[in-house]
Amino acid sequence: MSSLALSDKIVFVLYFLIVASYGYWVYRKKKDTVSASQDFFLAEGSLTWWAIGASLIASNISAEQFIGMSGEGFFVGVAIAAYEWIAALGLIIIAVWFIPIYLKNKIYTMPQFLKTRYNESVALVMAIFWLLLYVFVNFTSILYLGAVAINGLLGGDYLHLVMIGLMLMALIITLGGMKVIGYTDVIQVAVLIIGGFATVYMALEIVDQRINHVVDGSALAGFNTLLSQAPEHFHLILPKPNNTDMSAAGQLARDKYIILPGIAMYFAGQWILNLNYWGCNQYITQRALGAQLETARKGILFAGFMKLFMPVIVMLPGIAAFVLYKNGQLAGFEGGKDGAYSAILAFLPAGLKGLAIAALTAAIVASLAGKANSISTIFTLDIYKKYINQHADEKKLVWTGRLTVFISMVIAVIFTWKDLLGIGGEGGFTFIQKYTGFISPGVFAMFILGFFWKRTTGAAAMTGLITGFLLAIFFNSYAIPLFGTENIMYTAYLNKSGAYEIPFLINMGWSFVLTIIIMVIVSMAGPKVNPKAFEIDASMFKVSKSTLVLIVIILMLLSALYVKFW
């Protein structure tokens, strides 16, 4: 920690002590109930709406946003904010239509949903899928990106030490159970937001100072400088490139479009990613499961409201880094996407750098803790209790969950120690979205038909899961050799490696549509109403006046953002 001043170290240590002390206080306060498995894994509905919303954001905003999305801000600009802003709209859909179904049917885990709605085989297969995805894609990516970023800020060769430190901090929080995670996430979000906005404010001042050559920089002047120096970075909808332009600019346009394919992504994978992530994901929905409907809805909408502001924290620093780099003001920075955020933090003064590192650490630790709890919940309740030790008592279940947390963390450290999965080469944010996209179409098809079409059968669900996965692989690797580079379904673009590639969000869209069609066909061979179908009625989806006001506010703000940056 040689590059940190004493004030930076004091700020960081204070952050750690506050979070650890508060977490211990929550643990001691709830000690008589934390040994119960439902309480350990799900907090037994004790989280308030503001704790649910804060925990959702703390678990979601992590290294892939701070580092990965900031890197994409450097590369492509405000268009990457679509992931955050469409998420706000997706959270409205989930609060109004998904959560009532979960709560009415007392669903506590996603595999439990699949067993209740379909059968045990579907639930078991998906439990294994989710465990593999969480451990080998999400967990490893968060750990790797976070360790790389903090190591860069420390100015030394501390990568492996940082990895272990992050895991130990997450382990301390996770072992207290979901209650401790949920309430410490409130502090984590506060640190994240305060540190994040302070970093953005200082970054804009630095842009004004360095580019406009003024002594006392202004954040507003810095933002206007970004608008004038990088106007192409402030458009949400990217223009469609062509494959005949062999210039550097033409290749850059194609590389950007492959990640964010213009207006087409709003009719394809963007919705699938968001609705699947926020509505069909144990790691996220776990915060609201078990709560009262009104509490869960307000918590989810509170998270949706905060999502509108997250791009300011996680994307603007990347654009600031781009403008500084373009003007030769980032000495030693070679333009790698995932290094953009760290490059900006290096400018921060003593004390504020410690706060920024605390904010980044808060995001990483909260996300790791939430992910670890979800891994232990799925393994313990949906695999261990059902297939390994059906007579395990409450204490045994809790300790199995804790052991699962420890083992999953060790596995993640092993695979990130030398970046065995190639996360650094792919780009952190893209790595997560792309590989999550291999199972998202099939999973979301299972859930959406399971919610709202009573005829959907277990055979159709299993077929959909396998078909969605195979179709995602097909469009990613085999569609171009068979069907060419352009047809009615897609256009493939030359990537920087000289090979043709279909934007992965388009791949996801077609994988989902074809999976739905196949599931409908298979279900038509079954009964007109599946005996396991959920009973739903219009009254389940009615919202209170206060909830409706929150929804309208989010929609108005979202509309204004799209009008401004279209």
Dig out the tokens for 438 from the structure. Answer: 């291999």
Is residue 150 within 8 Å of residue 162, measured between CB atoms? yes
Q: What is the dihedral of CA 41, 38, 30, 19, to 10 degrees?
A: 10
What per-residue confidence (pLDDT) applies to 173? 67
* Angstrom distance (rounded) from CA 397 to CA 403: 10
Please identify which residue in the block is written with the tokens 């005829």: 455
**What is the rounded distance in angstroms from the CA atom of residue 163 to the CA atom of residue 148?**
9
Q: Which two three-digit tokens encode residue 335?
A: 């333009």
| Residue 211, both tokens | 């580019």
Q: pTM (2 decimals)?
A: 0.81
Round to whole Å and give the CA distance between 319 and 231. Answer: 10
pLDDT of residue 159: 76
Task: Tell me how far apart the alpha carbons of residues 70 and 149 are, in angstroms, rounded to a whole number.
Answer: 12
pLDDT by residue for the chain (566 residues), tens digit each?
A: 456 778 888 887 887 787 777 666 766 665 554 445 555 555 445 568 887 887 787 767 766 677 778 888 888 889 988 888 999 999 999 999 998 988 888 887 788 888 899 998 888 888 888 888 888 887 888 888 778 777 777 766 777 888 888 888 777 766 665 556 656 666 767 777 777 788 888 889 988 988 888 888 888 998 999 999 999 999 999 888 888 888 878 888 888 888 888 888 888 888 888 898 888 876 667 667 767 889 889 989 999 998 998 888 888 988 998 898 888 887 766 656 767 877 887 777 777 777 777 777 777 777 787 778 788 888 888 888 888 888 887 778 878 888 888 888 888 888 888 777 666 665 556 677 677 778 888 999 999 999 999 999 999 999 998 999 899 889 988 999 999 988 989 889 988 878 898 988 898 899 999 999 999 999 999 888 889 988 888 888 899 998 999 999 999 999 999 999 88
Bridge partner residues of 494 (DSSP): 500
* The predicted structure's pLDDT at residue 459: 94
pLDDT at residue 105, rounded to an integer: 85
Report how far residue 509's alpha carbon sits from residue 187's, in angstroms, rounded to the nearest whole number.
37
Distances (CA, A) of 231 to 84, 228, 260, 323: 21, 6, 17, 11
Q: What is the pLDDT of residue 34?
A: 46
Q: Sketch the domain layout of the chain as residue ranges.
A: 6-236+251-436+536-565
Instruction: Measure the CA–CA gap between 311 and 491, rounded to whole angstroms.
Output: 29
- What tokens does 299 get? 């918590």
Q: Which amino acid is at 525?
A: A
Give the integer Cα–Cα distance in Å for 516 and 521: 9
Backbone angles phi, psi at 93, to 5 degrees: -60, -45
Longest distance between any two alpha carbons in the chain, whole Å? 75
- Determine the pLDDT at residue 1: 45
Give the span between the Cα atoms of 262 and 257, in whole angstroms: 7
Query: What is residue 332's predicted lDDT score, i.e. its pLDDT?
Result: 63
User: What single-letter amino acid sits at 382?
Assistant: D
Tell me if the domain spanning 6-236+251-436+536-565 has CATH number 2.40.160.10.
no
| 178 within 8 A of 376, measured Cβ to Cβ | no
- Give the start-end residues of each E strand in 262-390: none
Ramachandran region of residue 177, left (φ > 0), alpha (ψ -120 to 50) or beta? Answer: left
Q: What is the SS3 assignment for 122-145?
A: HHHHHHHHHHHHHHHHHHHHHHHH
* Alpha-carbon span 273 to 433, nearest angstrom: 8
Nearest in space to 560 (alpha carbons), one of 225, 88, 193 = 88
The residue with tokens 């506060």 is 190
CB-hemisphere CA count at 13 Å for 462? 12
Q: Which residue has the tokens 């679509």?
A: 82
Residue 341: per-residue pLDDT: 79
Q: Give the residue from 195, 222, 189 showing the smallest Cα distance to 208.
A: 222
pLDDT score, position 330: 77
